């Protein structure tokens, strides 16, 4: 009998549309691989979700992104139900989603991160402690949601569309290049450089076709590529991640090669859309998409 897999997708975060695309791609690949798949569009109605998961599937494929799906909440519910699920558990998910706490952990493992602090919105600018340019972002969102670069001469510190509470994480701006590393299980599989057309790898650049050039493998010195993969695997293990994660870096080579790497964050629920970096790096490493999602299902676990 085919193994029954429930794909959780959608959700209520600002990354809902990306999650729906990720979930649909994963569900199609799993069906092609011979699994019995049901798709569940998750809302905040817990009873409705439990009913949709009854009788319990053999495995839950968690294709949710952002708050509630990536921060340990849905993982806690699945642990209580005792059903194995893909990706990381409660603690790893919660720590990784809190950027400032995660950076403290990374620093303790010798991974350089940009200096930063959480500040009340009214203090940003006058008391930030950083000369422009500097970066402000939500402390607990993913996919570059809400990231804003404050540049010299800006009259408006806070963007009009800010809707992420009354505080923000303020960090020193790191010039240079955008790199990312995918970890699958116990190994980092490659380094990609991302060159957005706009000069800033924001949400639109990530999920709009043609907006960003992906260079895989990244054209960086071998020592830097090896260091990026080492840092990504160290962070994955330090957080206690399971399955697949993706680490994002800035690489400051503005003073010449070799430059300095800085880890920005680890994504415990990276995108699985046709434009996403995990499937792309996996393909470069010789792992087809269907094989990747099947491996994730077969290595699912829970903390119950």
Q: What is the mean pLDDT for each group of 10 consecutive residues in the chain (304 residues)?
A: 94 92 96 98 95 97 94 96 97 96 97 94 77 89 76 72 84 95 97 83 54 91 97 98 97 93 96 90 95 97 84
CA-based torsion, 221, 234, 248, 24: positive or negative: positive
What's the whole-model pTM score?
A: 0.92
What tens digit of pLDDT does each residue of 137-161 get? 989 876 567 788 888 877 666 666 6
Contacts for 127-135: CB closer than 8 Å, 24+ residues apart = 128/170, 129/170, 130/170, 130/171, 130/172, 130/173, 132/173, 133/173, 134/170, 134/171, 134/172, 134/173, 135/170, 135/171, 135/172, 135/173
| Domain 4-87+293-298 CATH assignment equals 3.90.470.10 | no
What tens digit of pLDDT does each residue of 46-96 get? 999 999 999 999 999 999 998 899 999 999 999 999 999 999 999 999 999
Catalytic positions: 15, 143, 207, 246, 248, 265, 267, 271
Domain at 95-113+175-268: CATH architecture = 2-Layer Sandwich (3.30)
Which pLDDT score is estimated for 202? 52
């Amino acid at each position: 009998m085919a193994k029954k897999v429930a794909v959780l997708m959608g959700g209520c975060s600002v990354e809902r549309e990306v999650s729906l695309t990720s979930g649909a791609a994963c569900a199609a690949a799993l069906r092609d691989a011979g699994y019995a798949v049901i798709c569940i569009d998750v809302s905040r109605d817990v009873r409705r979700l439990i009913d949709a998961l009854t009788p319990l599937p053999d495995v839950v494929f968690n294709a949710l992104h952002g708050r509630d799906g990536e921060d340990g909440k849905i993982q806690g519910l699945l642990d209580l139900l005792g059903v194995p699920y893909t990706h990381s558990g409660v603690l790893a998910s919660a720590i990784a989603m809190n950027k400032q706490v995660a950076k403290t952990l990374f620093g303790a493992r010798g991974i350089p991160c940009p200096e930063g602090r959480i500040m009340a919105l009214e203090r940003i600018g006058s008391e930030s402690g950083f000369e422009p340019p500097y970066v402000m972002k939500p402390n607990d969102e993913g996919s570059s949601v809400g990231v804003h670069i404050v540049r010299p001469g800006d009259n408006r510190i806070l963007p009009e569309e800010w809707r992420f509470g009354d505080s923000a994480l303020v960090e020193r701006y790191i010039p240079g290049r955008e790199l990312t590393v995918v970890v699958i299980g116990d190994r980092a599989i490659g380094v990609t450089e991302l060159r957005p057309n706009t000069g800033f790898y924001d949400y639109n650049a990530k999920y709009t076709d043609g907006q960003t050039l992906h260079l895989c493998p990244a054209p960086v010195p071998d020592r830097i590529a090896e260091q990026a993969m080492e840092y990504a695997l160290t962070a994955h293990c330090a957080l206690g991640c399971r399955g697949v994660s993706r680490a994002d870096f800035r690489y400051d080579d503005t003073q010449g090669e070799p430059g300095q790497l800085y880890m920005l964050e680890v994504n415990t629920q990276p995108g699985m859309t046709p434009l996403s970096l995990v499937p792309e790096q996996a393909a470069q490493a010789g792992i087809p998409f269907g094989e990747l999602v099947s491996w994730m299902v077969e290595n699912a676990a829970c903390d119950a």
